[in-house]
Amino acid sequence: MADPPGCCRPCATCLLCLYSCQWITTKKEKRKGLRTTKCDCSWFLFLFCVFLFTLVWLYFAIIILNDFHNFNEFIFKQKKLWLDWSLVLLIATAVLITYSAVLLVLALCLQLCGQPLKLHWLHKTLLIVTALVVAAAFTGLGIKWAEEWRSARISLQATGPFLHIGIVGGMTLLAWPLASFIYRTRNTALKVFLLLVYCTVMIALYLAPLGITSPCIMEENQLPPKPALVGHRGAPMLAPENTLMSLQKAVDCDVQVFETDVMVSADGVPFLMHDEELTRTTNVQAVFPERAALNSTAFNWTDLQQLDAGSWFLERRPFPTVQSLSAGDRYQAAKQRIPSLEQALEAAKQSNISIMFDLRPENHSDYQSFVNATLEVILQSGIPLQQVLWLPDGFREQVKQQAPGVQQVYGRKRLQNEKEPLLHVNLPYQDMSSEEIRQYRQDNISVNLYVVNQPWLFSVLWCSGVSSVTTNACQVLKEMKHPIWLLPSSTYLMIWIVVDCSSFLAILWAFLLLKRCSQRRRAAESETDVLLTKINSLMQE
């Protein structure tokens, strides 16, 4: 069988070497009479599935980057080891997707060149390992981080239209090796089966936009106002979290609310701290090594003031942005101490921003005394009470009576038989749909969603009409003047029609062109057979 046009013998030999790990010339291959068997086709199908499987995992890996800092904190609490595991995730995923993609490209090129798909056993082993690793990653995600499945569904509102275009383009390119295989094989049943599967998939893809919805498919004049920014523990990408420097950096990012966490010391002083232990964000292991594992509330205020709450930020670099800090910011970060709630309220009052906080730990036996101590500091601080947003559910009625001006923020959705209307809710971004956000907005309920770091997610929530978002990346979201994309429905309809029509024409052209090449090749082979027959006849005479 002659090589197809454009497929030189050295190229075919090189492809065979890489795919089959054997340096076999085309002539030797023909003499051995090797063909692509059903087993080889099964391995090619497995390769294709592994590639798609790994590609889906790559998509998930990119999506979960929004929440990966939570994973880093979880690992630190379990193993006392700090590492930016997102780099490990992305590097490992990139290696797996690159390997499977290169193998798939080699297989498609071999098919176009009319060469057998004899996958080497080493590649088979590595493909099985790849599939097992990705399956384990998905299993772990489902068990330990199930909310990320909801994050993936939300992400489709941002990527759906573009994923549709990419998948249609990829399936269109697949028409070339498919047509080449169909015109080469003599198995009619296999031809019909492949064509039916391919046509079914393409029809489904052409009609997929009927099921694609996104809040960002709207007219420009329908776009809601940009959501306000709430600094999650301040500006933790620019300064040590829950410090006065972090609060000031958040103010510089134009945040309207400083979100923090409050604990109460053993001698009754409320202070800012998120973790129940001090090991992650202070040098407590160096100053009080025998007490490092104790709850933060077991330390008195004098002890807490001795701790360095900033050097860890420079040493562990919880975010890549730490590397780009100026010398002045590094010096200031190294000097940070644990601030009291009184200091934070004074800074918020001077900066004219609101402060929202959780009071931890809610299961503590002295929690009511924590509430009393916190309320006392708030009332004595002189900050306007409407600038204080109260999150804790414990003893909320007492707080309403003693400080009626404090804004009550609820960590739940409204109930059907609500005694008094909710004015503010604070929820994970996975817990509210775009339709619910719009309904709450119509009912004048302020919705704050957390934690939103990636521009794609901020864009979806912006288009949905959310009131505010809690973020680690206030310096990034501050610069966004517009959602990443916004398409009128008429424009999206036009793109849909153009993409589908272009794809259909490209597929038709691929099948017609390869059919002509196949007919020419068969005619040449027929002429060669006739000539060989005549030569044999003459030699016999």
pLDDT tens, position by position, 37-57: 888 889 999 999 999 999 999
pLDDT band at 25 (very low <50, low <70, confident <90, very high): very low
Domain end among 98, 129, 145: 145
Let me know if 90 is exposed, middle or buried by CB neighbors in 10 A (0-12, 13-18, 19+). middle
Beta-strand pair 424-428/270-272 = unpaired
In a domain, 418, yes or no: yes
Average pLDDT, stretch 248-268? 97
Are 258 and 401 members of one domain?
Answer: yes
In a domain, 374, yes or no: yes
pLDDT band at 534 (very low <50, low <70, confident <90, very high): low
In a domain, 537, yes or no: no
Are 170 and 269 members of one domain?
Answer: no
Domain end among 461, 478, 495: 478
Residue 26 has pLDDT above 60, yes or no: no
Specify which residues 272 forms β-bridges with: 262
Are 172 and 56 members of one domain?
Answer: no
More reliable by pLDDT, 117 or 335:
335
Query: Which amino acid, residue 124?
Result: K
| 534 contact partners, CB below 8 Å, separation of at least 6 | none
In a domain, 2, yes or no: no
Question: In which domain, by residue range, is 442 found?
Answer: 228-478
Are 519 and 453 members of one domain?
Answer: no
State how far the Cα of 488 lies from the Cα of 507, in Å rounded to an integer.
Answer: 29
SS3 state of residue 475:
helix
Are 465 and 323 members of one domain?
Answer: yes
In a domain, 535, yes or no: no
Q: Tens digit of pLDDT for each residue in 290-317?
A: 999 999 999 999 999 999 999 999 999 9
Residue 27 has pLDDT above 70, yes or no: no
Are 241 and 281 members of one domain?
Answer: yes
User: What was the pLDDT predicted at 17?
Assistant: 81
Q: Tens digit of pLDDT for each residue in 490-506?
A: 999 999 999 999 999 99
Beta-strand pair 270-272/257-264 = antiparallel
Please count the CA atoms within 13 angstroms of the CA of 352 that sit on its side-chain side.
1
State how far the Cα of 277 lies from the Cα of 275, in Å rounded to an integer.
Answer: 5
State how far the Cα of 263 lies from the Cα of 282, in Å rounded to an integer.
Answer: 15
Q: Which residue has the tokens 């990527």?
A: 159
Can you say whether the dihedral through the CA atoms of 285, 289, 294, 299 is positive or negative? negative
pLDDT band at 88 (very low <50, low <70, confident <90, very high): very high
Are 138 and 155 members of one domain?
Answer: no
User: What was the pLDDT predicted at 2?
Assistant: 40
pLDDT band at 481 (very low <50, low <70, confident <90, very high): very high
In a domain, 158, yes or no: yes
Tokens of 84: 């930016």
Domain end among 145, 168, 195: 145
In a domain, 532, yes or no: no
User: What was the pLDDT predicted at 1?
Assistant: 38
In a domain, 221, yes or no: no
Are 375 and 392 members of one domain?
Answer: yes
Listed residue (426, 446, 282) closest to 358, CA to CA: 426
User: What was the pLDDT predicted at 34?
Assistant: 59
* Number of domains, the chain: 3
CATH number for the domain that contains residue 470: 3.20.20.190
Residue 473 has pLDDT above 50, yes or no: yes
Are 465 and 499 members of one domain?
Answer: no
Are 494 and 513 members of one domain?
Answer: yes
Q: Tens digit of pLDDT for each residue in 187-200?
A: 888 889 999 999 99
Are 474 and 328 members of one domain?
Answer: yes
Are 415 and 512 members of one domain?
Answer: no
